[in-house]
Amino acid sequence: MSKILLKGGRLEIPAVEAVARICDALKRSGCPGDTAIKVAEHLADASLCGVESHGLMRVLQYVEQFESGYIKADALPVFRQSKSGSYEVDGQGGIGIPAMELAMNHGCKIAKTNGISAIAVRHAGHTGRLGAYAEQAAEEGYMIIILGGGNRKSWRQVAPFGGRKAILPTNPYCIGIPGGEHGPVILDFATAKIAGGWIYAARSAGAQLPEGVMIDNEGRPSTDPEDYYEGGALLPAGGAKGYALGLVAELVAEAMLGPATTECNWLMITLDTADYRDPSTIRSVAEEILAECRRCPPMPGVDRVEIPGERERVHKAVSNGVISVPEETWKQILAL
């Protein structure tokens, strides 16, 4: 599932060892023990699911951001209700993983009582793999929608459709909903052709990127991650559609939620699906729909039609608790 083209090899690292190493590195950087464990387990889980862009290599970025003062190692998120009655999680300038987890937990509790909840997440650093939160909520019977953006002046990553200069962040969307017999359906995607983390992953591993996802500072196609850091840009996913989605997320995150003081702002909407239909009925009808899609004859060169979210769960199941890490990336992690 990796999107980077490696020149070197990979190492097979047990997830428990990876968690221990990353936890140690985070603690050395000033993270409280609970935060270090939570973040380390989240990154290892992302790698086990095959989402390398949000996996182990992110600890390199986090430690670098601690040292620069971009994020605070010892910050703890806070949940509160504003004077207007809206709910928010203040990440207080720390890693976004604990902040997003806190928002998800409160969002589900509020939706259980009220049927629906909306929570803004502000002042948080990188939030990890959004699909992890969506899957947990969907497993419990909730539909969850997450979108984020803002802070484009610091994170100019994606060129608008037809443009050659990076203007917008990658502004991800994530939707989770209870599925059928094989678990929830999870959409988790950047509005760029690839998540920004793949560029960081390729650079740390000394690898190249796939063709057709990036341009250099002259607007020419490139696969070299260094071209991105020298003024290049990612292309929007789906052309005008990805650009439109990214633009709307930017408006929600900055025009509606206010200035993003750390990385970006997020809006999380959670619904209790049981308010609409009995959970067993939802599951039964969902499986009927999903099974029909799976039975669709594949195009030439395609093995089978897949359901969003299932590939990650299968990847994790067959990994048997072992993560395939680029050798160069693992060396850098150990050096921490």
Per-residue pLDDT reduced to its tens digit, 293-332: 999 999 999 999 999 999 999 999 999 999 999 999 999 9
Q: Which region holds residue 59: left if phi is over 0, alpha if psi is between -120 and 50, else beta?
A: alpha
What pLDDT, on a 0 to 100 scale, did the predictor assign at position 200?
85
Pair of tokens at residue 316: 């994790």
Q: Is residue 301 part of a domain?
A: no
Q: Is residue 79 part of a domain?
A: yes
Q: Is residue 234 part of a domain?
A: yes
Q: How far apart are CA 170 and CA 196, in angstroms?
A: 7
Q: Is residue 17 part of a domain?
A: yes
Q: Is residue 300 part of a domain?
A: no
Q: What range does the domain containing 105 cover?
A: 10-289+307-335
DSSP letter at 54? Answer: G
CATH number of the CATH domain containing 319: 3.30.1370.60
C-alpha distances in Å from residue 206, one per residue of 8, 209, 217, 241, 329: 8, 10, 20, 32, 9
Q: Is residue 298 part of a domain?
A: no
Number of domains making up the chain: 1
Phi, psi of 238 (to 5 degrees): 65, 20
What is the per-residue pLDDT across 1-17, written as a single tens digit (0 to 9) for each?
777 777 789 999 999 99
Question: For all residues of the chain together, what is the average pLDDT?
Answer: 95
Q: How far apart are CA 134 and CA 145, in angstroms?
A: 8
Continuous segment of H or E residues that includes residue 64: helix 58-68
Pair of tokens at residue 129: 């793999």
Q: Is residue 297 part of a domain?
A: no
Q: Is residue 4 part of a domain?
A: no
